[in-house]
Amino acid sequence: MIFRRCYISGVLYGDKTGDALKDPDVVKFLMVMALCNTVVPIKSNDGTISYKAQSQDEEALVNAASNLNMLLTSKDSSGIAEICFNGSKFYYEVLDVLEFTSDRKRMSIVVKEVKSGKFLLLTKGADEAIFPRSCPGEQTKTYLEAVEMYSHLGLRTLCLGCRDLEEDEYKEWSKKFQDASCSLDNREHKIAEVCNSLEQGIHILGITAIEDRLQDGVPETIKLLRKAGINVWMLTGDKQTTAIQIGLLCNLITPESKGQLLSINGKTEDDILQSLERALTIMKTALERKDLAFVLDGWALEIILKRSLESFTKLAMMSRTAICCRMTPLQKAQLVGILKSSGSLTLAIGDGGNDVRMIQEANVGVGISGREGLQAARAADYSIGKFKFLRRLILVHGRYSYNRTAFISQYSFYKSLLICFIQILFSFSSGLSGTSIFNSISLMAYNVFYTSLPVMTIIFDKDISEATVLRYPQILLYSQAGRLLNRSTFAEWFGRSLYHAFVVFLITINAYADEKSDMEELSMVALSGCIWLQAFVVTLDTNSFTCPQITLIWGNFVAFYMINLILSAVPTLQMHTVMWHLCNQPSYWITMALIVAAGMGPVLALRYLRNVYRPSAIDVLQQIEQTDGHAQAPGNLESSTGTYLDYLLTDLRRNKSSIHQPLLSDSASSR
């Protein structure tokens, strides 16, 4: 944050150069900037002074004051603050700190001039918190105009003021403040009342305007997330005008020529409810190509939550973008809770202590660790260094994680059902005698050794490259709609396991029907058929091959034969010489080839027909990568690809869960 401009005693500073430090009002204004904070000055060995602050606002104000010769040099343990101005030193004793809270929206300190013994109340805060407490006859209109002007420039404003205190008045108030601070019952409310009693009759000194610079990559990240079908809301404590300007800068909302911003406000409760219904009507009747968003403040939200929660929930579900300004931490969490209760999956991202409640309320919390501290990062599920890293967290890692989870969960059912179906088929052929076709060692090793390692290859799998995902972020809609994990895909895996069980069982039984084979040989042939099929299934469903993947899939396949050859050499086991005998028979290898051909042939044929005649959005992007070698599709090809992807994903964009209901969602209507 950077201190840009200020307004003092009817004069706008920041546009022109000049010496205003001789003006007593300016000097007093700078003194409040330097003192009214909880900043700790740190002096290095070379004599330079740096500041450690709880918020970037305070740090920006103190640094600005020091650049204007009002230097905060030290604060000792006894509460004495040293100010150096134009070579002269001034000492102030900090008596009490009236801390900032989201409800008060201001902070104050009571100081005593060491030299004169004069008591002062120094205050800074939001204009809506300071102006009502100004002294009678204070001309606040010009200050309000300055606040509006700075807000239109996208600057964050603070109002600074002060008040002279009598010693008796302070001592009487200090006793009340101490009693409230020591209270065990309703302590916060009592402290707020005592603080409010002192913060009256404030003389307004001026307005500060601070530029809260966007991090690099914020507009591009928000644009990608919106293109990926993610609804983006901005919850902030800034003024409405400032929030709107920031929304325009970061691509959150579009200019009026392409979009429309619906304002939900009013002077009375009825006016607010009427504007809510009006916004809901416009949202229902607007054309899809119109980019609509709504904006409301904390006071309007408080009224809506009490009197028209249902209508607001409908509006929230229809809007892709919203700006909620003047929000307290509690209201931020309430908004996230409303979206969660309506069935949406929510992700909250923040960088300060005011965002902790919101982050903890969301399904997924992301904290940005930086100059605002680590409170948000420690309370979050994920911690990132910059906002732009969110694009990779969601579009790349989030999407890959969903794809891998979808495969692992369904493949685990497949391999377990396969062995169970073979057991069931054998029980019918054996007259329900209760005899198992597999011995106990094979059943144990099946899940522990033979089929566990190939599943781990999926952690390296990427269906399309990271560059392609970031170039075509709308592919995330495919995952949001649950296209890889739903009732239909689960039914496919169920049907595949049943079909493969029939293939393995029938080919094994018929291939060895005329031979004098014992039960152990029949069991090993059926088990070998399962292992062969699963090796080809994992290979077929793998999109990218790396050395670890090839090693785990086919190395595990080789290990299966090595383990069983070793076990066959143990005389005390029932399977003694079984694998050695089978491997020396040509009929065994012919049986394996028949099982693979019969089991994988129809699967390959169906997949080929689907890719040719009904390709999915993922298939289209894979074809581009195979053709060009990368996602840098030039010119018309890139444009046509994006258009075709939008066509394939149109139904998903309109209703992400209308066709396939995800199995890994909190509710059936999760978006």
What is the rounded average pLDDT of the residues 141-166? 89
**Chain region(s) in the chain for CATH 3.40.1110.10:** 2-211
**Chain region(s) in the chain for CATH 3.40.50.1000:** 218-389
Q: Cite the annotated binding site for Mg(2+) by residue number.
A: 351, 355
Please tell me the predicted confidence (pLDDT) of residue 633. 42
The C-alpha torsion from 642 through 644 and 645 to 651, rounded to 10°, is 130
Comparing CA positions, the residue from 352, 463, 368, 350 lying closest to residue 406 is 463
Distance between CA 75 and CA 66 in Å, rounded?
15
Please tell me the predicted confidence (pLDDT) of residue 251. 84
Quickly state the pLDDT bin for 152 (edges 50, 70, 90): confident
- pLDDT surpassing 60 at residue 556: yes
Quickly state the pLDDT bin for 659 (edges 50, 70, 90): very low
Mean pLDDT lowest for which of 41-45, 207-211, 384-388, 651-655? 651-655
- pLDDT surpassing 70 at residue 509: yes
Distance between CA 625 and CA 638 in Å, rounded?
12
Q: Cite the annotated binding site by residue number.
A: 58, 100, 124, 156, 236-238, 326, 332, 351, 354-355
- pLDDT surpassing 70 at residue 664: no
- pLDDT surpassing 80 at residue 635: no
- Comparing 78 with 120, the larger pLDDT belongs to 120
Quickly state the pLDDT bin for 658 (edges 50, 70, 90): very low
Please tell me the predicted confidence (pLDDT) of residue 396. 92
Specify whether the CB–CB gap between 664 and 407 falls below 8 A: no
Quickly state the pLDDT bin for 641 (edges 50, 70, 90): low
Specify the residue for token string 């090796």.
Answer: 535
Reported in sequence order, the residue ranges of 356-470 that DSSP labels E, i.e. its strands, are 364-368, 382-384
Residues 6+ apart with CB under 8 A from 300: 264, 265, 266, 272
Please tell me the predicted confidence (pLDDT) of residue 124. 93
- Parallel, antiparallel, or unpaired for β 70-75 and 80-85? antiparallel
What is the rounded average pLDDT of the residues 437-444? 81
- Comparing 304 with 576, the larger pLDDT belongs to 304
- pLDDT surpassing 90 at residue 288: no
Specify whether the CB–CB gap between 162 and 203 falls below 8 A: yes
What is the rounded average pLDDT of the residues 136-142? 83
Please tell me the predicted confidence (pLDDT) of residue 347. 93
Quickly state the pLDDT bin for 392 (edges 50, 70, 90): very high
The pTM of the whole model exceeds 0.85: no
Distance between CA 321 and CA 138 in Å, rounded?
39
What is the rounded average pLDDT of the residues 371-390? 85
Please tell me the predicted confidence (pLDDT) of residue 644. 60
- Comparing 373 with 346, the larger pLDDT belongs to 346
Mean pLDDT lowest for which of 2-11, 12-21, 527-536? 12-21
Mean pLDDT lowest for which of 227-236, 262-271, 274-283, 546-555? 546-555
Please tell me the predicted confidence (pLDDT) of residue 666. 37
Specify whether the CB–CB gap between 579 and 565 falls below 8 A: yes
Please tell me the predicted confidence (pLDDT) of residue 359. 93
CA distances from 305 to 242, 345, 503 (A): 24, 21, 61
Please tell me the predicted confidence (pLDDT) of residue 670. 35
Please tell me the predicted confidence (pLDDT) of residue 57. 83
Mean pLDDT lowest for which of 153-162, 334-343, 473-482? 473-482
List 123's β-bridge partners, or say none: 108, 161
Query: Residue 395 carries which DSSP code?
Result: I
Query: Residue 432 carries which DSSP code?
Result: S
- Parallel, antiparallel, or unpaired for β 11-13 and 40-43? unpaired
Fold designation for 218-389: Rossmann fold (3.40.50)
Q: Cite the annotated binding site for ATP by residue number.
A: 58, 100, 124, 156, 236-238, 326, 332, 354-355
Token pair in block for residue 315:
């509006």
Please tell me the predicted confidence (pLDDT) of residue 362. 92
Mean pLDDT lowest for which of 276-290, 500-514, 654-668? 654-668
**513-516 contacts, C-beta under 8 A, 24 or more apart:** 515/587
321: helix, coil or strand? Answer: strand
Identity of the residue numbered 634? P
Reported in sequence order, the residue ranges of 19-150 that DSSP labels E, i.e. its strands, are 40-43, 49-52, 70-75, 80-85, 88-98, 106-113, 119-125
Specify whether the CB–CB gap between 599 and 507 falls below 8 A: no
Distance between CA 120 and CA 111 in Å, rounded?
5
What is the rounded average pLDDT of the residues 39-53? 83
Fold designation for 2-211: Calcium-transporting ATPase, cytoplasmic domain N (3.40.1110)
List 49's β-bridge partners, or say none: 43
Length of the chain in residues, anyone?
671
Mean pLDDT lowest for which of 5-19, 207-221, 254-268? 5-19
- Comparing 232 with 619, the larger pLDDT belongs to 232
> Which percentage of the chain shows pLDDT scores above 70?
90
Quickly state the pLDDT bin for 631 (edges 50, 70, 90): very low
| Average pLDDT of every residue of the chain | 84
> Which percentage of the chain shows pLDDT scores above 90?
28
pLDDT in tens, 197-223: 999 999 999 999 988 888 888 999 999
Specify the residue for token string 């019969």.
Answer: 598
Please tell me the predicted confidence (pLDDT) of residue 495. 94
Mean pLDDT lowest for which of 345-354, 436-445, 470-479? 436-445
Please tell me the predicted confidence (pLDDT) of residue 52. 84
Specify whether the CB–CB gap between 346 and 94 falls below 8 A: no
Quickly state the pLDDT bin for 602 (edges 50, 70, 90): very high
- pLDDT surpassing 70 at residue 63: yes
Distance between CA 557 and CA 333 in Å, rounded?
52
Please tell me the predicted confidence (pLDDT) of residue 514. 65
